[in-house]
């Protein structure tokens, strides 16, 4: 499953974990351009695959073939997203390349934007909202220019046809009303019945994921058949190219276990056998040693309204050694942090075990992870495989970094920071302390503390997750200011934590409100927790003027006067929140959350929304991939693999269509 996704309207990635909207850093990134072109509601970004050059030739070669295997799956997703997507894409690309008229014409400009959106969404529906795009060019113009037949024009221009890719509106036939290409001539009831029976007759302890790799079709005589996505059936041509490149990659795998993973994946692609897929998943999850790792397959099922059919995706990645070292250092010192926390002794763990979060760098994104992507992934998705064999949970560090770098200069920091001193601190230490905050939160915060004996873990009910997130955040905030972090070499300066305190307060009091519509309350647990912490600290620091809300030209700013006292307040709240959790004190949990974490001052909300709107920041973002080139000797052996970041968005999409298209325009 996707565990972390770039939040809509957020300005940075960390946004989705902590909602911080003003992150910056002192990393010198040379001339690397993280921001590329912008169109419609989209901002294209680039990510840097730092460290690729330092990999061994074997690892580079392995990545090279794996990214080829990744790119060959692109057409599968287009077809999964809608029956006519490949046909429409080809028609539009032909027009885009061969258009003889004025490319500045209103119709052509609107058409160009439409095509760029189709590329981005892998089809004619919005990647996030799933509603069909409304063309800004005229039907007559397009029919004439593209020589478009009426039945295709109907699909593009008639708003009632294929309205939504995934329809989740209760009471409607979700299968019939969804445009995604997972069922043919089948009603929702029929599909549910078909798979319900399969499940009932199957192994209940170790069920395979029925239906995940096929299209369910009702034939003319009323029979139901599954058209499997295998090398010999539907999508066969694309899957054959994927298998071919997996075979080329195999000799360069990092260990024997990884070769076994590849063998099982190939066998699964060839047979479509679902228990083979489970064996593959188990082998993959147990293969933890290699630096280079990859996902390639039918993985996530968000595109099927019934949640059975999996869309194709691929990511090739390698471990970020430095970032993983950071989390290892924290884990190794987990007991020290537990022992020194401001929490009452009876609520502490006698023996605590830190978690080492894996931080990876993406080398290529493909299928349903491209161009819009996740930054946190936890796989496999099979429940029993997870329960019996575990899962791999990763955060994709270089994508987070790209979001942060790209957000610089979007005006958010300048708009909401109190003054030059705050901006300077955020620019210098913002990224670093943001990463550390995540590490402390995930590796130590959630694992700290204990329930008193006899206390039910669910006693905080609906307030439980907000309290739990607040606990982990406060643990992080309290320790970010601890000299121990300097001692462990995790922060370069004892003032660095100030950046995260500014970020936390600004975000909790002001900037996270940009994600909420005027008039609504705060609903989401992470956002409630941030508001709770910020407003609680603000109120409890008032007597000693720890911080102020300053009004300037009708704008509100957060000014922190005493950082050490703010740390004490975080410590105090941490102790209280841990007591609430440890004793299952529902009434206190309710009072804390309802008083500080839910309601929004409408005047302040309106002000923040207006300030944000003026910055004109694109709500959705996606990535252009780097280009890998194999350098070969006279015998054809790969002697090096180079990476470049100069390919443009349209250029990349047209190249992918030219070099990696294998499927018929209509797949039946
Ligand atoms: Zn958390």
Dist. CA 377 → ligand 1 center (Å): 15
Could you report how far apart the first and last alpha carbons of the chain are, in Å?
Answer: 29
Residues near ion ligand 1 (CB < 5 Å) are 469, 472
Q: Which of 201-205, 559-563, 642-646 has the lowest mean pLDDT?
A: 201-205
Q: Does 535 map to a domain?
A: yes
Dist. CA 443 → ligand 1 center (Å): 10
Q: Which domain holds residue 339?
A: 14-52+308-623
Q: Does 389 map to a domain?
A: yes
Dist. CA 159 → ligand 1 center (Å): 41
Q: Does 487 map to a domain?
A: yes
Q: Does 297 map to a domain?
A: no
Q: What is the pTM of this model?
A: 0.84
Dist. CA 539 → ligand 1 center (Å): 24
Dist. CA 619 → ligand 1 center (Å): 24
**Mean pLDDT within 380-395:** 86
Q: Does 604 map to a domain?
A: yes
**Mean pLDDT within 17-35:** 51
Residue 174, pLDDT > 70, answer yes
Q: Each residue of 535-578: pLDDT tens digit?
A: 999 999 999 999 999 999 999 999 999 999 999 999 999 999 99
Dist. CA 94 → ligand 1 center (Å): 48
Q: Does 500 map to a domain?
A: yes
**Mean pLDDT within 415-440:** 94
Q: Each residue of 504-535: pLDDT tens digit?
A: 999 999 999 998 889 999 988 899 999 999 99
3-state secondary structure 364-376: EEEECCCCCCEEE
Dist. CA 451 → ligand 1 center (Å): 18
What's the CA dihedral at 548, 549, 550, 552 to 10 degrees? Answer: 170
Tokens of 50: 């730092």
Dist. CA 446 → ligand 1 center (Å): 7
Q: Each residue of 587-639: pLDDT tens digit?
A: 999 999 999 999 999 999 999 999 999 999 988 899 999 999 999 999 999 99
**β-pair type (2-5, 374-379):** antiparallel
Instruction: List helix spans (H) across 272-343.
Output: 274-286, 321-332, 334-340
Number of domains in the chain: 1
Residue 28, pLDDT > 80, answer no
Dist. CA 287 → ligand 1 center (Å): 26
**For residues 253 and 560, what is the distance between their CA atoms, to the nearest angstrom?**
52
Q: Does 384 map to a domain?
A: yes
Q: Does 521 map to a domain?
A: yes
Dist. CA 603 → ligand 1 center (Å): 30
- 371-380, 449-458, 643-652: range with highest mean pLDDT: 643-652
Cβ atoms of 216 and 229 closer than 8 Å:
no
Dist. CA 482 → ligand 1 center (Å): 21
């Amino acid at each position: 499953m996707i565990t972390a996704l770039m939040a809509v309207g957020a300005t940075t990635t960390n946004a989705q974990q902590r909602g911080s909207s003003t992150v910056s850093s002192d990393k010198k990134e040379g001339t690397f351009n993280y921001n590329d072109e912008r169109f419609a509601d989209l901002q294209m970004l680039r990510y840097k695959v730092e460290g690729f050059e330092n990999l061994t030739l074997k690892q580079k070669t392995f990545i090279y073939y794996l990214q080829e295997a990744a790119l060959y799956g692109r057409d599968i997703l287009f077809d999964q997203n809608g029956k006519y997507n490949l046909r429409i894409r080809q028609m539009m690309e032909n027009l885009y390349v061969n258009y003889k008229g004025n490319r500045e014409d209103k119709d052509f400009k609107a058409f160009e934007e439409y095509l760029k959106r189709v590329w981005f969404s892998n089809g004619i529906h919005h990647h996030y909202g799933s509603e069909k795009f409304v063309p800004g060019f005229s039907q007559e113009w397009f029919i004439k220019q593209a020589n478009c037949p009426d039945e295709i024009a109907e699909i593009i221009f008639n708003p009632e046809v294929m309205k939504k890719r995934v329809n989740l509106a209760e009471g409607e036939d979700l299968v019939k009303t969804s445009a995604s290409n997972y069922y043919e001539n089948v009603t929702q009831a029929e599909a549910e019945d078909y798979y319900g029976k399969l499940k009932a007759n199957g192994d209940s302890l170790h069920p395979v994921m029925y239906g995940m790799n096929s299209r369910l079709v009702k034939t003319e005589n009323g029979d139901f058949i599954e058209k499997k996505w295998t090398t010999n059936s539907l999508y066969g041509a694309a899957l054959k190219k994927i298998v071919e490149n997996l075979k080329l990659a195999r000799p360069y795998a990092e260990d024997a276990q990884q070769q076994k993973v590849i063998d099982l994946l190939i066998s699964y692609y060839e047979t479509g056998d679902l228990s083979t897929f489970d064996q593959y998943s188990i082998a993959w999850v147990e293969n933890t040693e290699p630096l280079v790792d990859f996902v390639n397959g039918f993985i996530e099922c968000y595109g099927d309204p019934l949640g059975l059919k999996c869309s194709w995706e691929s990511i090739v990645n390698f471990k970020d050694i430095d970032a993983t070292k950071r989390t290892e250092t924290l884990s190794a010192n987990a007991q020290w942090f537990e022992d020194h926390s401001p929490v009452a002794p009876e609520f502490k763990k006698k023996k605590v075990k830190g978690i080492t979060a894996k931080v990876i760098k993406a080398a290529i994104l493909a299928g349903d992870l491209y161009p819009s992507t996740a930054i946190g992934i936890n796989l496999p998705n099979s429940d029993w495989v997870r329960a019996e064999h575990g899962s791999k949970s990763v955060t994709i560090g270089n994508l987070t970094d790209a979001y942060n770098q790209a957000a610089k200069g979007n005006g958010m920091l300048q708009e909401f920071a109190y003054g030059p001193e705050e901006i300077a601190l955020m620019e210098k230490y913002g990224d670093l302390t943001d990463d550390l905050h995540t590490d402390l939160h995930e590796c130590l915060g959630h694992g700290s503390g204990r329930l008193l004996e006899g206390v039910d873990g669910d006693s905080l009910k609906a307030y439980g997750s907000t309290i739990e997130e607040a606990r982990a955040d406060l643990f992080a905030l309290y320790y970010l200011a601890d000299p121990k972090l300097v001692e462990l070499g995790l922060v370069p300066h004892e003032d660095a934590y100030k950046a995260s305190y500014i970020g936390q307060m600004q975000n909790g009091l002001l900037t996270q409100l940009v994600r909420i519509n005027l008039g609504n309350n705060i609903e989401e647990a992470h956002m409630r927790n941030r508001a709770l912490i910020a407003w609680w600290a603000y109120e409890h620091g008032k007597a000693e003027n720890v911080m102020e809300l300053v009004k300037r030209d009708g704008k509100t700013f957060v000014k922190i006067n005493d950082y050490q006292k703010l740390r004490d307040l975080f410590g105090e709240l941490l102790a209280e929140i841990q007591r609430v959790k440890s004793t299952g004190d529902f009434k206190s949990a309710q009072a804390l959350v309802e008083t500080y974490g839910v309601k929004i001052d409408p005047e302040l909300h309106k002000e923040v929304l207006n300030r944000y709107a003026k910055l004109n920041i694109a709500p959705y973002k996606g990535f252009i991939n780097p280009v890998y080139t194999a350098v070969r000797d006279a015998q054809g052996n790969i002697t090096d693999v180079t990476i470049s970041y100069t390919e443009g968005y349209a250029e990349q999409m047209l190249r992918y269509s030219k070099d990696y298209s294998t499927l018929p325009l209509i797949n039946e």
